[in-house]
A and B are shown apart, each in its own frame.
Chain A
Amino acid sequence: MSALVQLRRVSKAYGVVKAVEPLDIEIQAGEFMAILGPSGCGKTTLLRMIGGFIQPSTGEIILDGVDVTRLGPERRPTNMVFQGYGLFPHMSVAQNVSYGLRLAQVSLPERKRRVEEALALVHLEDFGERRIEQLSGGQRQRVALARALVMRPKVLLLDEPLAALDLKLRRAMQEEFRRIHALIGGTFIFVTHDQEEAMSLATRICVMDRARVVQDGTPEEIYRRPATRFVSRFIGEANFFHGVAQSNVVTLRNGASFSAKVNDGEVDCVVRPEDICLPDQGGCDIRAEAIVENVTFLGHHRQYRLSSVLGDDIIVSSRDRSPDIDVGSTVTIGWRVADQRIVSQ
C-alpha cells in the first residue's frame, strides 16, 4: 500500500532564496502530522505546495496515486483551514460552509444535510444563519474547519490554525481537533511553530529548520532522541553540557566522563530538566556540584536554576515537595546516561 501523500524531491526557490530544499516525505492515510519549525523555516511554503497554492520549483507531489504537481488548488482533493480563516464576509455561516458543495453541484437537500452535519461536528448547530462578523474568533475557527471538512477532503491542511486564539481557547480547540480526527479518521497535516501544540496533537512531527526537514518521527522520539542541537532546543527545554569526545569517551568540563559511540571532537550532552535529579539520591551515572541560583514554584513542579562548572544556566524541574533546598546552597545534581542524548556540534 503506497502512501496517501508522496512528496518526491519537492523544493521551492524564490530566485536565489531557497524556501524549501529538496525533500521527500510520505504521509500515510489517517496520520495527523505536524510540520513544526520557527517562522521562516519553509513550513508554510511546504503546506501551500501540497494545497496547490505554490508551484514547486522541482519535484512532484502525488496525492492518492495521482500526480497533482501542476494542478491548481481547485482541482486537488485537499482542503485548507487558513491562518486568519479566510471566511467569506458577505455570506452567512451556512452559505460559507455550503459554498464548496454548491460549486461541486451537490443537490440542495444533500447540501443542506451535509452542512448541518458539518456544523454539528464543530458544535455550531444553531449558527447557520449568523453573519461572520457576529462570530467570535473561536467560532470563526470552527466555521473554517466545518467549511473544509464538509468537502470530505482526502487530506485536510491546517495553516497555523490556532495562532490567533488565546491560550484557553487554543487548548479547547486542540481537544476539538483531536476529537474530530478520531471521529472521521481523516488525514490531517498542520503547520505550527508551537511545539507544545505539535506534541499534544500530532501522531507524527516533521521538524523543519532553515528550509530542511531536520527530524521526522513520533512526538516521543523527537523529544527523547532529538537528532540535532536545534531540535533539542526547539522541542521542550533542554540543558546542554559541553564535552569533548575522544576514542568513544566523552569528558565533561567538570571531569566526569562516560563512554559513548561518537566521533572525536566537541559534543553536547543534552539532558531534559526533568531528567536531572536534585539532590542526587543515588542511581545517577554522572554527577556535578552546583549552586542554586533561584527557585520558581510553578504549581505542579518547581523549577530550579543552577550554575556550575558545567554551565551557568542549568534548569532542573522537580516534583519533589521538600522545600529544604535554599537559594545559594551547594547541591549535587546528577542524571543517568540513559536519559541523555549526545549531539555533535
Chain B
Amino acid sequence: MKDRSLSIRAALQLAPTIGVLLFVFVLPTAYFFVISFWRVRAFKLRPEFTFDQYRQVLAEFSDPLQFTLALASVVAIVTVLIALGFAYFCRFQAGPAGPAFIFLVLVTLFGGYLTKIYMWKTILGSAGILNTALMELGLIDSPITALLYSPVAVIITLVHYTLPLAILPIYGALRGVEDVPLEAARDLGAGRLRTFFDIVLPQIRSGIVAAFSLSFIFTAGDYVTPLMVGGPNASMIGVFIQNQFGNRLNSPLGSALSFVVIASCMVIVLAFATAMVSVTRSRR
C-alpha cells in the first residue's frame, strides 16, 4: 500500500519532465528520423522508404560536414583549454575572489547570443574597432579584411559564446578537488605540472568531457554565427540543413543531414571521453 502511494507520487513528480521531453523532443525527433527515409515528389512528402537522402548526404555534403566537425573540434578544444585555465585560476589562485569571478562568468550569460555576434562584427569589421585602432597606431595602412567573414571569425565568436558553458562544469568539478592531496603529491616528489596531470586532471575528467560536449555540440549545430560572421568560406552544415527545411522544402534531406550530424557528434564526443579516460588512467 505504502509502496504504491510512493510510486504514484514519484510518477506525478516525474510526469511534467517526461511530458515535456516526450512532446518536444522524443516525438519530433522520431518524426524526423522516420521522414529522413521518405521521398519528396513535387514538393510533397510521400511515405516511400528509401536510402536516397543518406546517399546524397555522403555524396554532396561530406565537405561541409567535415569542415563543420573540424571547426567544432577546434572551437571545443580551444574553449576547454581557456575554460580550464580560468577555472583553475578561480579555484586555486584567486583565493576568496574566485567565486566572484565565477559569478561574473554567469553574468555574461545574460548578454544574448546575437549581441555577442554583433559585438564581434563591430570589433573585427573592416571599419571595426580593431582595424581602426591598428590604422591609427600606424601598424597597418589599409584595413585587414580577412578578420571578419572568415572561419577564424566564426571560431573566435563561438569560443567566446561557449566559454561560460565550459567554465561552469569545469569549475564545478574543480571544487570537488581537495587541496591536501595536491600538497601530498608535491611532498612525494611531483612538480606543479605533474601534480596537475596526475592528481587534478583525473578528478575533473567528467567536468572536462561535459565542457567539451557542450561547446562541441553547440558549435556543430550552430547556423547563425557562420551566416553573420563566417563569409562564403565558412559554410557550416547547419546552414545547409536550414536551407533544406526552408528554401528547398526538402525536409527528408534536411532530416537525414541532421541525423548524420547527430551521429558524428556522438562519435566524436565518445572518442574524446575515451581519450580522456585513457590519458588520465592511474598507473601502478
Taking beta carbons and an 8 Å cutoff, which residues of A are in contact with B? 51-53, 72-75, 78-80, 82-92, 94-95, 98-100, 102-104, 108, 111-112, 144, 147-148, 151
User: With A and B bound together, what is the CA distance between A138 and B178 in angstroms?
Assistant: 20
A51: nearest chain-B partner, CB-CB: B187
Within 8 Å of chain A (Cβ to Cβ): is B191? yes
Q: Can you report 23 A-B residue pairs in the complex whose CB atoms are below 8 A from each other?
A: A52-B187, A53-B187, A78-B187, A79-B187, A80-B187, A84-B178, A85-B180, A86-B183, A87-B184, A88-B282, A89-B178, A90-B202, A90-B203, A90-B282, A91-B282, A92-B282, A95-B282, A99-B198, A100-B188, A102-B283, A108-B284, A144-B184, A148-B187
For B194, give its contact among A79, A89, A103, A111 (CB under 8 Å): A103
Residue of chain B at shortest CB distance from A88: B181
Interface SS majority for chain B: helix
A72 touches B188 (CB 8 A): no
Q: 7 tightest A-B contacts by CB?
A: A100-B188, A86-B180, A86-B184, A103-B189, A90-B202, A86-B181, A91-B282
Give 20 new A-B contacts, CB below 8 A, not counting A88-B282, A89-B181. Answer: A53-B183, A73-B183, A73-B186, A74-B187, A74-B189, A80-B183, A80-B187, A82-B184, A86-B178, A90-B203, A90-B282, A91-B282, A92-B282, A95-B283, A99-B188, A99-B198, A100-B188, A112-B284, A144-B184, A148-B187
Min CB–CB distance A317 → chain B (angstroms): 40
Contact of B189 among A51, A86, A100, A108 (CB under 8 A): A100
**Tally of contact residues, B, Cβ under 8 A:** 21
Pick the residue among B185, B187, B194, B283 that contacts A88 (CB under 8 A): B185
Q: Which residue of B lies closest to A112 (CB)?
A: B284
B241 on the interface (CB 8 Å rule)?
no
Among candidates A82, A90, A98, A147, residue contacting B183 with C-beta atoms closer than 8 Å: A82
B253: CB under 8 A from chain A? no
A240 to B194, CA, bound (A): 55
Residues in B with CB closer than 8 Å to A98 are 284
Would you list which residues of chain B between 168 and 189 have a CB under 8 Å from chain A?
A: 178, 180-189
Minimum Cβ distance to chain B for residue A85 (Å): 7
Chain B residues closer than 8 Å to A80, beta-carbon distance = 183-184, 187
Q: Write out the residue numbers on chain A whose beta carbons fall within 8 Å of the beta carbon of B184.
A: 80, 82, 86-88, 144, 147
Please determine whether B187 and A89 come into contact, CB atoms closer than 8 angstroms.
no
Chain B residues, Cβ within 8 Å of A86: 178, 180-184
On whether A147 and B203 interact (CB within 8 A), knowing A53-B183, A94-B284, the answer reads: no
A73 B187 Cβ-Cβ under 8 A: yes
Instruction: Check: B190 CB closer than 8 A to any chain A CB.
Output: yes
Known: A91-B282, A102-B283, A108-B284. A74 touches B191 (CB 8 A): yes
> Which residues of A sit under 8 angstroms from B185, Cβ to Cβ?
88, 99
What's the minimum C-beta distance from B154 to chain A, rounded to whole angstroms? Answer: 37
Task: Please state if A87 and B181 are interface contacts (CB–CB under 8 Å).
Answer: yes
B83 contacts chain A at the CB level, 8 A cutoff: no
Complex Cα–Cα for A336 and B134 (A)? 92
* B195-209 Cβ-contact flags toward A at 8 Å (1 or 0): 000110011000000
In whole angstroms, how far apart are the Cα atoms of A73 and B284 in the complex?
A: 22
In the complex, how many angstroms separate the beta carbon of A130 from the nearest chain B beta carbon? 14
Give the interface centre of B178, B183, B191, B203 by most chain A CB atoms within 10 Å: B183
Chain A hits for B282, CB < 8 A: 88, 90-92, 95
Measured in the bound complex, the distance between the Cα atoms of B173 and A89 in whole Å is 14
Instruction: Give complex CA distance A84, B181 in Å.
Output: 9
Return A93 CB to nearest CB of chain B, in Å: 11
B284 close to A74 (CB less than 8 A): no
Interface residues in B199-223 (C-beta closer than 8 Å to A): 199, 202-203
In the complex, which residue of chain B has the Cβ closest to the Cβ of A100? B188
Note all chain B residues with C-beta closer than 8 A to A102.
283-284
The chain A residue sitting closest to B189, CB to CB, is A103
CB distance from A80 to the nearest CB of B (A): 5
Q: Are A79 and B203 in contact (CB under 8 A)?
A: no
Q: Indicate if the CB atoms of B284 and A82 lie closer than 8 Å.
A: no
A82 touches B180 (CB 8 A): yes
Q: Which residues of B contact A91 (CB under 8 A)?
A: 282
